[in-house]
Structure 1
Amino acid sequence: MELYEDQFSEAHDTVGDVTTQKTLIIASTVRSGSHMLGHVLHESGQFGFPLEYANKQNLAQWKHKLGEQSVKGVMQQLMRRRTSTNGVFGIKVHYSHLPVFGGFSQLSQLFPNPHFVLLTRHDVMSQAVSLAMAKQTGSWIADQQADITPEYRFEDIDNGMRRILFENSSWKYTLSATGANYIDLDFEAVKCDTARVVKQIADFMQVEVEVDKVPQAPVTRKQSNELNQQWIARFNQEFSANDELLRYNQESVLRKVAKRFF
């Protein structure tokens, strides 16, 4: 069974009737490492199985599998199926998924006692390149076969970077403005110090984890390769060499700031 299809397997369901008492919500953006983090937390056995349940394609399959038509109905059934024996349910939510729930307030009301982990990547350039490649190839996780060989396009990377920066800022603003219970987490920490990250999240949520069940390293394979680095170098060179583009970006930001605050 492919990794994508495996997420729907009943083998991941919790045995017995467990009530959700706390919810771990990985607040993320595309290609931020949320897939890696979700699988790491699942391995510990204390955070449910934090997957992208609100993704349009995933949600459609869950509706069919569970015989539910509403998002609320699907999520309630998933909480009954995927809550760990300690009462913790996990889900990862990209900022672009919020409309699926009817907005942030509806999301917060749907899941009991939500704890947010705001996951970002310091290297936004690499994240944007990864997004551009995944959109072209259709390969979003390591075990998905790429349909085509990706082709470098400056505008794809540029648009991806703007989207990522906007959504990161929007998550930060929303969590801060609503007084949500959250912590910040960087992708590099998940990759380089996996066990400490799991312990950090456990402490944040006041959840006990067994040391021998905490992965010492990521449990999914990375997808980046030499081609990613070539695209990054080419984008950096093209952007830096275009004085007009640099000037446009600077002036655009200044106009927006002046219009907003003065």
Structure 2
Amino acid sequence: MHGFAICTAPRSGSNFLSQLLSSTGQLGRPLEYFNGPGRRYFDDPDYPDDRNAQIEKILTMGATPNGIYGLKIFAYQNDWVEDEIEWTARLPNLQFIFLRRRDILGQAISWARALQTGQYRHGQTSTGEAAFDGQAILDRLRAIAIEYARWEMYFARNEIAALPVVYEDVANAPQQAVDSIAGLFNLHHVRADARQVSVILQRDESTEKWRRRFVEEFGNLGRVDKLWS
């Protein structure tokens, strides 16, 4: 078997990329397999919390018939797992994809809003109201910067040449993103099927209003933030 981990941060477009890859039928079925509560909510009411059982899910549920598996993971999720199991050693022929978003402020707004409403995907029932909270956006902005920095340090420390993927590029040229990831496995003529991608952009007019207000109220050109202070 061969496979990949999409290493990223929340609200980076990872659901879109994962569904895009799954739609090919050849590039695994990447999901947050180390997120038991999430899997039970979205996919399988009996999904296990046991890490060994989750590894088995990655290699079965997460694999396409050609033996390629996929998963996605956030840096903070790695903290949940690392003391229990050496997951990278348990996954054969593992490669890494580093997915990030250029518009980090937009990402932070999206994450802050999702935390308020409970809506992480289109179609989920809202459990709360969205209201501008500049401090919450700033907190998410810092959290995203830390997530990305931690992955960069992880790759550097282990001398891993992760494949860089940018969400905005994936959105503009989905098939090109599929081609680059298929290239990791020397696969050719792998086609994405847009009909199988159900992720819908959640950004709306209020997002831009929040963006302008945040910059007005929380912007500070005279300061470089300390992420770990």
Q: Is the 8 A contact 1:115 1:205 kept in 2?
A: no
Structure 2 CA distance, aligned partners of 1:58 and 1:46?
24
Distance of aligned partners of 1:219 and 1:102 in 2 relative to their CA distance in 1, 3 Å threshold: same
Structure 1 CA distance, aligned partners of 2:201 and 2:76?
23
Partner of 2:184: 204
1:220 offset after TM fit, Å? 1.6
1:197 offset after TM fit, Å? 0.4
1:106 offset after TM fit, Å? 1.6
Distance of aligned partners of 1:180 and 1:63 in 2 relative to their CA distance in 1, 3 Å threshold: farther
1:205 offset after TM fit, Å? 2.8
- Give me the identity figure in percent: 23
Q: Is the 8 A contact 1:40 1:219 kept in 2?
A: no
Structure 2 CA distance, aligned partners of 1:83 and 1:123?
31
Q: Is the 8 A contact 1:26 1:119 kept in 2?
A: yes
Unaligned runs of 5+ in 1: 1-20, 257-262
Partner of 1:185: 165
Partner of 2:204: 225
Matches within 5 A, 1:1-262: 21-58=1-38, 65=46, 68=48, 70-102=50-82, 106-211=86-191, 213-215=192-194, 219-240=198-219, 247=222, 249-250=223-224, 253=226
The amino acid of 1:65's aligned partner reads D
TM-score by length of 1: 0.78
Partner of 1:10: none
Distance of aligned partners of 1:161 and 1:118 in 2 relative to their CA distance in 1, 3 Å threshold: same
Greater C-alpha radius of gyration: 1
1:214 offset after TM fit, Å? 4.7
SS of 1:82's partner is: coil
Structure 2 CA distance, aligned partners of 1:170 and 1:215?
32
1:105 offset after TM fit, Å? 8.6
The amino acid of 1:190's aligned partner reads V
Higher helix proportion: 1
Distance of aligned partners of 1:221 and 1:80 in 2 relative to their CA distance in 1, 3 Å threshold: same
Q: Is the 8 A contact 1:125 1:232 kept in 2?
A: yes
Structure 2 CA distance, aligned partners of 1:224 and 1:104?
37
1:219 offset after TM fit, Å? 4.5
SS of 2:23's partner is: helix
1:107 offset after TM fit, Å? 2.5
TM-score by length of 2: 0.89
Distance of aligned partners of 1:86 and 1:93 in 2 relative to their CA distance in 1, 3 Å threshold: same
Q: Is the 8 A contact 2:11 2:111 kept in 1?
A: yes
SS of 2:148's partner is: helix
The amino acid of 1:133's aligned partner reads R
Unaligned runs of 5+ in 2: none
